[in-house]
């Protein structure tokens, strides 16, 4: 059962953990491992409580000198009654390896059959590895030792030492929350470097990857070390506190659920970040951003940790903001805020449109499962945007002073939002609580638009007569609007020339812009042009109509990114015909230069075609995208990042199978993609979607036996538009006994819905509603949420589908993770149905 906040408060009042000693033996078998835990803790009274423990079998429990019955452990809890004062609890148990990315995950690399293990204990998986008081405010230092096969390497939160015969010991850590503890073990290959600070501080840096990815690690480690050193220097200077956790290890692990996890001293990353084949600048920026994000957590999140999960957003918002700031200020990726605008903000805007939207802060989190459901684009992108607005409002110098005070005051401990705001108020002398109430404690998006009236000047040219920035606010929980202030820029563009630009501070629903009176009437009027605030930018009808010709001529990439985000919103809200988005792409993509905009505008447009464009028009719109991508490929420098992005778009959308069949077979590949197996897999999957495979799947599967190749093969096989393929794929995806990992099920889900008409796919609506929720217990909630999202039947967008989903959501038969995914995807289904109603089905 999940730990409730009330239980956590009571246990924190009772218990203070002095130390944790954990011994793990990973050599017993492939399904389980042995775990011994010694917890030294102090109790304020002899009051019954419990230890969290999710074991396969509990062998011994001893509290001080008393032997307890192991059978007392049930439902993930071991009841104990400590004596007042100092206690020692020893638990020996057999624990389960997982294959869903939670707990101690075990994976076999199909490239060489090597086994890899890593610990991912967020949010409540620590009891699957060792006995503990599993809540973030009961921190303790850890002593961890691990026995592994002789050829394996071990690392974790403490500096690793190999003692011989497969026995490894990790140095005693600083106080850590349970969810930050990790152990990574296997025949990893490693590369080393070091960071040296301005006062002679030295931090060893180590990067690890699977043995089958050694060539990729060798080629890419120098760039990653450079970003790591640059960010460490930046954060060291900005925060005024030395990096606090010994060596700094970064481990690229297989089948990881998230992008990365900020385990102190031992960050784990999904190993897709060790890129195969050609690497675009957008990919490098994305990985560099993740490196910076996890490093920012070393101070904000790890050094100072939330008391409870309701403040987890602050960790992520802060790291999200700091990562982009560090890239812009300290690395070559000065365009990072452009990437934020087109990659991150639309994710958060989509979460705000969903019925599951919630405030950035203060969302109820009565237990861990509930908190996990609010861990989304609002926590990351909206929170980071709110921090940008806070800085604009209070000044950067005061913000940095407040951050330093917060980190210093609560080092190695826990803190709340109130603590953070207290430091901000002390540093700035402003009413930060009022700002927080408006920005952090209410859900929903403000809508910003510009109203112009026009007249003719003395020469008969149209000029602005009046200009007003209009703010439409969402209603608060009790019907009161949050009254969020905004600092933003309004800009007018005509044929690539900036007609005018004005900075605006918005504190009311209508803000007059007298500076624009008498100025030329532009073809394109852009609210929030610098993309500094969090709001839906509502373009006027004339601006929407002229976007296909005007957006490609806008010279500011930040404004172009913001306009693409506005287009995604407009299509989702049925304010823009989805075919108009395709028309915009057809004009903009051939001349776009920013790598992030190229990547994301392609992804969003392909998604719109697959979801929103009427079925009868899809082939013609795919043809328009293919033509635009070929134009960009022809104009790009051969072998450039831009050329690769264009070719990848073609491989995903080609209308004629013969146009990409040579690529799938490894022939006639664009320059720089000759060794790019992932590119070839794109072509194979497209052939599968077209029902045009002719041995390419088998050929490619034999050529690429890697973990990525195996997943791509599953996706391509599931993408074939025939009854036999769909029936097989669904059985593997949704079967409780299929044994498929979380990654395999995700790949199957992505392929399954990529092809097939309504007649073929309609029967799987009911199967989704019955069989995916039944995977609860087979997969952890974090992994199951992703499966439930990807497997949702958006490709059967009918009223009957909506009604069937609503009927399930009206009951109480699904777990919180599945419910949240279904609610969010039901919202997207509603957007599709509204677009169909307005623009045609």
**Residue 479 pLDDT:** 56
- Which band of pLDDT confidence, cut at 50, 70 and 90, is reported for residue 8? very high
**Residue 633 pLDDT:** 97
pLDDT cut 90: percent of the chain above it: 92
Mean residue pLDDT across the chain: 96
202-209 and 248-253 beta bridge pairing: parallel
Task: Give exposure, 278-304, as e/b (b: 16+ Cβ within 10 Å).
Answer: bbbbbbbbbbbbbbbbbbbbbbbbbbb
For residues 752 and 732, what is the distance between their CA atoms, to the nearest angstrom? 11
**Residue 480 pLDDT:** 67
Using left for φ > 0, alpha for ψ between -120 and 50, and beta otherwise, residue 235 falls in: alpha
Helix/strand/coil for 358: coil
247-303 pLDDT tens trace: 999 999 999 999 999 999 999 999 999 999 999 999 999 999 999 999 999 999 999
- Which band of pLDDT confidence, cut at 50, 70 and 90, is reported for residue 15? very high
Structure tokens at 830: 């509603």
Is the pLDDT at 376 greater than 50, yes or no?
yes
For residues 407 and 344, what is the distance between their CA atoms, to the nearest angstrom? 26
pLDDT cut 70: percent of the chain above it: 99
453-467 pLDDT tens trace: 999 988 889 999 999
Is the pLDDT at 174 greater than 80, yes or no?
yes
733-775 pLDDT tens trace: 999 999 999 999 999 999 999 999 889 999 999 999 999 999 9
Say if CB 791 and CB 733 are below 8 A apart: yes
DSSP H or E segment with residue 95: strand 85-96
| 545 CB-near residues (< 8 Å, 6+ apart) | none
* Cβ neighbours around 526 below 10 Å, total: 27
Average pLDDT in the 436-455 region? 93
User: Which of the residues are catalytic?
Assistant: 294
Of 306, 237, 301, the residue nearest 267 (C-alpha): 301
Per DSSP, 38 falls in state E
Q: What backbone torsions phi and psi does residue 840 show, to the nearest 5 degrees?
A: 105, 140
Give the CB-side neighbour count of residue 124, counting CA atoms within 13 A. Answer: 23
**Residue 758 pLDDT:** 87
For residues 458 and 292, what is the distance between their CA atoms, to the nearest angstrom? 55
**Residue 442 pLDDT:** 86
Structure tokens at 313: 């957003």
Structure tokens at 148: 């592994």
Is the pLDDT at 10 greater than 60, yes or no?
yes
Helix axes 707-718, 677-689, angle to 10 degrees: 10
For residues 826 and 824, what is the distance between their CA atoms, to the nearest angstrom? 5
**Residue 476 pLDDT:** 55
Give the gyration radius of the chain's Cα atoms.
27
681-702 pLDDT tens trace: 999 999 999 999 999 999 999 9
| 76 CB-near residues (< 8 Å, 6+ apart) | 1, 52, 53, 54, 127
- Which band of pLDDT confidence, cut at 50, 70 and 90, is reported for residue 477? very low
**Residue 370 pLDDT:** 80
Is the pLDDT at 516 greater than 50, yes or no?
yes
**Residue 313 pLDDT:** 86
């Amino acid at each position: 059962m999940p730990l409730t906040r009330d239980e956590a408060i009571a246990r924190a009042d009772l218990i203070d953990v002095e130390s944790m000693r954990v011994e793990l033996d990973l050599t017993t078998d492939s399904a389980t491992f042995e775990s011994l835990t010694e917890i030294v803790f102090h109790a304020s009274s002899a009051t019954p409580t419990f230890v969290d423990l999710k074991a396969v079998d509990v062998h011994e429990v001893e509290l001080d000198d008393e032997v307890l019955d192991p059978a007392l452990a049930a439902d993930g809890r071991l009841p104990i009654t400590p004596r007042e004062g100092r206690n020692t609890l020893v638990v020996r148990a057999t624990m389960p390896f997982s294959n869903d990315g939670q707990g101690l995950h075990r994976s076999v690399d199909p490239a060489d059959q090597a086994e890899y293990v890593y610990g991912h204990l967020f949010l409540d998986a620590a009891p699957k590895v060792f006995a503990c008081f599993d809540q973030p405010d009961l921190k303790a230092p850890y002593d961890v030792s691990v026995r592994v096969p002789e050829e394996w390497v071990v690392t974790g939160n403490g500096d690793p030492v190999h003692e011989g015969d497969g026995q490894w010991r990790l140095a005693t850590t600083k106080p850590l929350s349970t969810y930050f503890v990790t152990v990574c073990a296997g025949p990893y290959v490693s590369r080393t470097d070091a960071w040296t600070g301005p006062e002679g501080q030295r931090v060893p840096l180590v990067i690890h990857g699977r043995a089958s990815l050694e060539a990729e690690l060798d080629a890419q480690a120098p760039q990653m070390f450079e970003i790591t050193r640059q960010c460490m220097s930046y954060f060291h200077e900005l925060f005024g506190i030395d990096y606090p956790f010994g060596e700094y290890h970064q481990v690229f692990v297989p089948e990881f659920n998230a992008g990365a996890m900020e385990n102190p001293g031992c960050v784990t990353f999904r190993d897709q970040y060790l890129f195969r084949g050609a690497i675009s600048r957008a990919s490098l920026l994305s990985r560099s951003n993740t490196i910076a994000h996890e490093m920012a957590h070393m101070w904000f999140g790890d050094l100072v940790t939330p008391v409870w999960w309701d403040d987890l957003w602050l960790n992520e918002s802060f790291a999200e903001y700091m990562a982009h700031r560090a890239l812009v200020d300290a690395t070559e990726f000065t365009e990072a805020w452009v990437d934020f605008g087109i990659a991150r903000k639309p994710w958060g805007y989509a979460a705000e449109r969903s019925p599951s939207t919630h405030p950035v802060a203060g969302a109820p989190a009565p237990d861990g499962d509930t908190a996990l459901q609010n861990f989304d684009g609002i926590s990351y992108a909206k929170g980071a945007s709110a921090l940008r607005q806070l800085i604009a409002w209070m000044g950067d110098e005061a913000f940095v002073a407040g951050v330093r005070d917060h980190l210093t005051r609560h080092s190695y401990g826990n803190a709340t939002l109130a603590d953070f705001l207290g430091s901000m108020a002390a540093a700035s002398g402003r009413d930060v609580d009022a700002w927080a109430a408006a920005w952090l404690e209410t859900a929903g998006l403000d809508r910003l638009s510009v109203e112009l009236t026009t007249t003719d000047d003395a020469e008969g040219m149209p000029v602005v007569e009046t200009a007003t920035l209009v703010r439409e606010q969402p209603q608060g929980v009790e019907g009161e609007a949050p009254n969020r202030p905004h600092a933003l820029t309004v800009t007018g563009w005509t044929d690539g020339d900036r007609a005018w630009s004005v900075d605006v501070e918005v504190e009311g629903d209508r803000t007059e812009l007298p500076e624009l009176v008498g100025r030329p009437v532009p073809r394109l009027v852009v609210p929030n042009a610098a993309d500094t605030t969090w709001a839906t930018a509502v373009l006027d009808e004339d601006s929407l109509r002229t976007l296909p010709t005007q957006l490609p001529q806008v010279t500011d990439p930040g404004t172009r990114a913001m306009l693409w985000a506005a287009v995604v919103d407009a299509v989702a809200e049925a304010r823009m015909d989805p075919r108009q988005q395709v028309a915009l792409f057809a004009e903009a993509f051939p001349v776009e230069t920013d790598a992030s905009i190229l990547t994301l505008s392609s992804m969003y447009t392909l998604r719109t075609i697959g979801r929103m464009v009427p079925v009868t028009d899809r082939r013609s719109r795919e043809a328009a995208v293919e033509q635009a991508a070929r134009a960009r490929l022809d104009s790009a420098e051969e072998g450039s990042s831009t050329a690769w992005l264009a070719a990848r778009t073609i491989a995903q959308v080609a209308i004629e199978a013969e146009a990409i069949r040579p690529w799938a077979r490894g022939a006639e590949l664009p320059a720089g993609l000759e060794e790019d197996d992932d590119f070839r897999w794109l072509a194979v999957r497209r052939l599968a979607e077209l029902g045009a495979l002719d041995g390419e799947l088998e050929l490619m599967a034999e050529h690429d036996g890697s973990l990525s190749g195996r997943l791509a093969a599953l996706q391509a096989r599931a993408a074939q538009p025939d009854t036999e393929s769909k029936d097989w794929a669904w059985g593997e995806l949704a079967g409780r006994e299929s044994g498929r990992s979380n990654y395999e099920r995700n790949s199957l889900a992505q392929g399954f819905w990529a092809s097939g008409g309504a007649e073929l796919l309609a029967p799987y609506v009911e199967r989704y509603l019955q069989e995916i929720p039944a995977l609860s217990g087979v997969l952890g909630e974090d992994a199951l949420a992703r499966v439930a999202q990807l497997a949702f039947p958006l490709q059967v967008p009918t009223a009957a589908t909506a009604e069937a989903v609503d009927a399930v959501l009206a009951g109480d038969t699904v777990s919180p993770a599945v419910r949240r995914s279904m609610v969010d995807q039901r919202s997207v289904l509603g957007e599709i149905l509204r677009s169909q109603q307005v623009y045609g089905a």
